[in-house]
Chains A and B, each alone.
Chain A
Amino acid sequence: MTPDFLNTIEVILNGLMAGVMYSLVALGFVLIFKASGIFNYAQGVMALFAALTLVGFQTGQIPFAHLVNEIFGTQIHHWGPGMNNLIAILLTILVMVLFAWLVEKLVLKHLVNQEPIILFMATIGLAFFMEGVGDLMWGADLKTLDVGIPSGGSFWWEDVTRTWVSEGYEYYGMYIDLLDVWAAGIAVLLVTVLTLFSQYTKTGRALRAVADDHQAALTVGISLRSIWVIVWSIAGIVALVAGIMWGSKSGVQFSLSLIALKALPVLILGGFTSIPGAIVGGLIIGVGEKLFEFSIGPLVGGATENWFAYVLALFFLMFRPQGLFGERIIERV
């Protein structure tokens, strides 16, 4: 195999890995959309918030320390040396559940029966609000997040692939980040758990019932409001997973919330209601944008990743508005 060919394979592989990361975020969107018809723009900020909280717990930060110092002139910052990873993760999950409950109580409850686009705009407001809260609570500086997931290039893979090149060429092997491989594994695990949960538990069945038909679910005695709390909690946990992966990769700070923007075209491709769609959509976008940047990027000045996903989604919308896995919409009068 020629180095060019191998390079292309490397780009595709890295695209797949990046795609998995997009899928992780898109998954949170799909869960909430299926259960409540809400397009939750705040999903990305939820990932940021979860990651910030996790780091805060890990390192023993005092919440709102900056704000308190500013108002009262005190000098507090940490309450102790921090805590064990597992406890920190469990506490963060608790915080995300509490957050879900608050969102339902303070926002969603008052917006029942509003048009989807109003709810969408409300979640944009929620995103801004949470970003402010998160930064005030834990500070806006760039933080490193390490929960013990291995990272860095895999030497084994480099050595293996180095031997694939045809004779007479010089080739140094492929680079693949261990963190990405772990992320892919965790994503697969997460999807499996979610599928099992929705198939085999009572709550899961209730979730699917609500997703099918709000009214009908209500008449058989499912409480819509507790379902919403559960779904937002699960989305919060998915956000935490995404936050951990993205945070470990590139640190925890504001830009983390922008992955939400990357997940939007993934949803358009995959359809808003399909979990497999979110996965496949993420992979297509991941591979597509990496390949495009690799082959066309140099000709047009690079940085095409900024827009490629959106333009791809745009073209896709023109031909198949319901997404790859979505159902065809028949309009009725």
Chain B
Amino acid sequence: MFYRESGDFKTSYIQDQQIFPILQDRMFVAVVAAFAFLVVPFLINDYWEKSVLLPVLIWSLAAIGLNILTGYCGQVSLGTGGFMAVGAYASYKFTTAFPELNLFIVVLLSGGVTAMVGILFGLPSLRIKGFYLAVATLASQFFLVWLFNKVPWFYNYSASGQINAPERLIAGIAVTGPNAPPWATYLFCLTFVVVFALIAKNLTRGRFGRSWMAIRDMDIAAEIIGVAPLKAKLSAFSISSFYIGIAGALFFLVYLGAVEPTEAFGIDKSFLVLFMIIIGGLGSILGSFIGAAFMFLMPVLIKNILVNGLGWSPDIVAHLILMIVGGLIMFFLIVEPHGLAQLWRVAKEKLRLWPFPH
């Protein structure tokens, strides 16, 4: 009854352009942010860090990245796993070659390297569209993973072929390596996610975002209006890859700590992130978070209930999860292509009118 726009008049374009135009939303977001930054670090333990918070945060970042490319610019990519690998290996090389380099800078640089690689593999998008492009991005997936497997320079000639995150400190506190306290790794990731989610929102609601969506919705009309396809597509590829690269770097440095490319960055990861944005909502930053949380936590929950609760064999549960995931993808594409984010919006729409829907 109190959640509504009426009475909350916008008197300037600045107010009308806010990310959260409704007062209650702004209050809600402020409370969540305060809780995430000020309360969670005191409550967090190892289990919550490794099994829930870190992966959800990192996958959200990857999902935002892919959503920029696929949801906003309409270019489907199946190379997410490969680009995450670029971010991970770049961060490994930076942090081992320059041990003194600040971790924030290491992660940002890794994103930059991934953005370059993204541009390179985005070049074909200028000539090909749709699933032709999706197939072309598979080239990056398989080639990159193979490269990190076969070229010893990337893994510093280690005997196992693995890469391990060395311990690095920020302000005297370990953020990577086995001794990093859960609250530190959590805050490190949270900072990246919040800052870059905000940046993504800013980019998508402005001139860049509109040029991407124009290309997505009607590329010929976009070009005739003055959007250069080259610039729009490559900027989407590079920014998207930047995000995915950062996600890859965090995934390796902070979350896993040790990585073997085929295992950690296989094609299944590309599909996982794609599913996150389909279920969360194509073309929605909020949807990227919802989708990442849903796709990561849903299988964990089902496993907990069926394997730990009812004692089923993990094998069968894994197949059941495959079925559920596949079914959900089809369900969402048929029923609600804008994903959970849209369901959330519809619910808010209803709430806004409640209790007088007519």
Give yes or no for direct A-B contact (beta carbon below 8 Å).
Answer: yes
Q: How far apart sit A114 and B333, CA to CA, in the bound complex (Å)?
A: 10
Q: Is the beta-carbon distance between B323 and A116 smaller than 8 angstroms? A: no
**In the complex the two chains form, is A140's CB within 8 Å of B326's CB?**
no
Stretch at the interface among B168-176, B204-212, B311-319: B311-319
Stretch at the interface among B12-20, B105-113, B135-143, B190-198: B135-143
> What's the dominant secondary structure at chain A's contact region?
helix
Partner of A116, one of B131, B278, B316: B131
Once the chains are docked, how many angstroms separate the CA of A140 from the CA of B329? 23
B322 and A264 within 8 A (CB): no
In the complex, A281 has a CB within 8 A of chain B? no
The interface residues of chain B lying within 8 Å CB-to-CB of A304 are 146
Q: Mark A104-136, 1 if CB is under 8 A from B, else 0.
A: 000100110010111011101111111111011
Q: Does B328 contact A (CB under 8 A)?
A: yes
Specify which of B76, B127, B328 is in contact with A318 (CB 8 Å cutoff). Answer: B127
Contact at B326–A129, with CB atoms within 8 Å?
yes
Give CA–CA (A220, B24) in the complex, Å. Answer: 57
If A127-B326, A301-B151 touch, whether A39 touches B131 (CB-CB below 8 Å) is: yes
* In contact, A121 and B274 (Cβ under 8 angstroms): yes
Question: Which chain A residues lie closer than 8 Å to B128 at the CB level?
Answer: 317, 321
Partner of B323, one of A132, A268, A300: A132
Assess whether B135 is in contact with A265, with CB atoms less than 8 Å apart: yes
Whether A267 is near chain B, meaning CB under 8 Å from some CB there, is yes
Q: How far is the CA of A77 from the CA of B323 in the complex (A)?
A: 22
B224 to chain A, nearest CB (A): 8
Select one of A67, A117, A125 contacting B130, CB under 8 A. A117
Say yes or no: A307 contacts B146, CB within 8 Å.
yes
Cβ-defined contact, B76 with A120, below 8 A:
yes
- Chain B proximity mask over A293-333: 1 for CB below 8 Å, otherwise 0: 00000001111101100110110011001000000000101
B335's closest neighbor in chain A, by CB?
A110
Instruction: Give bound CA distance, A302 to B147, whole Å.
Output: 11
Q: Once the chains are docked, how many angstroms separate the CA of A318 from the CA of B319?
A: 39
Q: Roughly how many angstroms separate A333 CA and B224 CA in the complex, as a whole number? A: 10
Tell me, yes or no, whether A261 is within 8 Å of chain B by CB. yes
Which chain B residues border A313 with CB–CB below 8 Å?
Answer: 135-136, 139
Contact A135:B139 (CB < 8 A) given known A111-B334, A121-B274? no
Q: Does A143 contact B (CB under 8 A)?
A: no
A70 CB-CB contact with B under 8 Å: yes
Query: CB of B257 within 8 A of chain A?
Result: no
Instruction: List residues of chain B with CB within 8 A of the CB of A261.
Output: 138, 267
In the complex, whether B21 has a CB less than 8 A from a CB of chain A is no
Give the CA-CA distance A36 to B106 in the complex, in Å. 48
Within 8 A of B (CB), among A196-239: none
Cβ-based interface call for A66 (8 A) = yes
A107 touching B127, Cβ below 8 Å: no
B52 within 8 A of A: no
Are A70 and B312 in contact, with the CB atoms below 8 A? yes
User: Contacting A317 at CB < 8 Å: which of B74, B132, B271, B330?
Assistant: B132
Which residues of B lie under 8 Å from residue A110 when comparing CB positions? Answer: 334
Q: A44 → chain B, closest Cβ, in Å?
A: 12
Q: Which of A120, A132, A268, A321 contacts B321 (CB 8 A)?
A: A132
* Given A126-B326, A301-B150, A310-B135: A132 in contact with B319 (beta carbons within 8 A): yes
Q: Is the interface of B mostly helix, strand, loop or mixed?
A: helix
Q: When the two chains form their complex, are residues B132 and A321 in contact, meaning their CB atoms are under 8 A apart?
A: yes
Q: Nearest chain B CB to A267's CB is how many angstroms away?
A: 7
Bound together, the chains give a CA A265 to CA B64 distance in angstroms of 28
Q: Which residue of A lies closest to B315 (CB)?
A: A140
Q: Are B135 and A268 within 8 A (Cβ)? A: yes
Complex: how many Å from CA A300 to CA B324? 41
Q: Tell me the complex Cα distance, A133–B127, Å.
A: 38
Q: Which residues of A contact B327 (CB under 8 A)?
A: 125, 129
* Interchain CB contact under 8 A, A314 and B146: no
Chain B residue nearest to A118 (CB atoms) is: B333
A118 B320 Cβ-Cβ under 8 A: no
Q: Which of B136, B271, B316, B330 contacts A66 (CB 8 A)?
A: B316
Distance of B275 from chain A, by nearest CB (Å): 8
Query: Contacts of B123 on A, CB cut-off 8 Å?
Result: 318
The smallest C-beta distance from B274 to any residue of chain A, in angstroms, reads 7
Closest B residue to A320 by CB, please name it: B127
Which A residue's beta carbon lies closest to that of B324? A132
Q: State A321–B133 Cα separation when bound (angstroms).
A: 10
Chain B residues lying within 8 Å of A128, measured Cβ to Cβ, are 271, 322-323, 325-326, 329
A210 to B255, CA, bound (A): 52
Q: Do the beta carbons of B334 and A122 come within 8 Å of each other? A: yes
Which residues of chain B are near A114, meaning CB under 8 Å? Answer: 333
In the bound complex, CA of A267 to CA of B132 (Å) = 9
What's the Cα separation between A117 and B273 when bound, in Å? 16
Q: What residues of chain B lie closer than 8 Å to A124, measured between beta carbons?
A: 271, 274, 329
Per the bound structure, the CA–CA distance linking A327 and B139 in Å amounts to 24
Cβ contact within 8 Å between B76 and A117: yes
Q: Does B220 sit at the interface, judged by CB under 8 A? A: yes
Given the known interface contacts A66-B316, A120-B130, the answer about A133 and B323 at a Cβ–Cβ threshold of 8 Å is: yes
State whether A122 touches B136 (Cβ < 8 A).
no
In this complex, the member of B267, B315, B319 whose beta carbon has the largest number of chain A beta carbons within 10 angstroms is B319
| Interchain CB contact under 8 A, B333 and A122 | yes
Known contacts A117-B76, A306-B142, A318-B127; A135 and B322 CB within 8 A of each other:
yes
Q: Which of B142, B151, B330 contacts A125 (CB 8 A)?
A: B330
Q: Which 3 A-B pairs have the closest CB atoms?
A: A129-B326, A125-B329, A132-B323
Can you sample 24 A-B contacts with CB below 8 Å?
A: A66-B313, A70-B312, A116-B130, A116-B131, A117-B74, A121-B76, A121-B274, A125-B330, A128-B326, A129-B327, A131-B326, A133-B323, A136-B319, A268-B135, A268-B136, A301-B150, A301-B151, A302-B150, A304-B146, A306-B145, A307-B146, A313-B139, A314-B124, A317-B124
Query: 7 additional contacts, CB 8 Å, given A121-B76, A128-B322?
Result: A122-B334, A125-B329, A126-B330, A131-B319, A135-B322, A265-B135, A304-B146
Residues of chain A at the chain B interface (Cβ within 8 Å): 39, 66-67, 70, 107, 110-111, 114, 116-118, 120-122, 124-133, 135-136, 140, 261, 264-265, 267-268, 300-304, 306-307, 310-311, 313-314, 317-318, 321, 331, 333
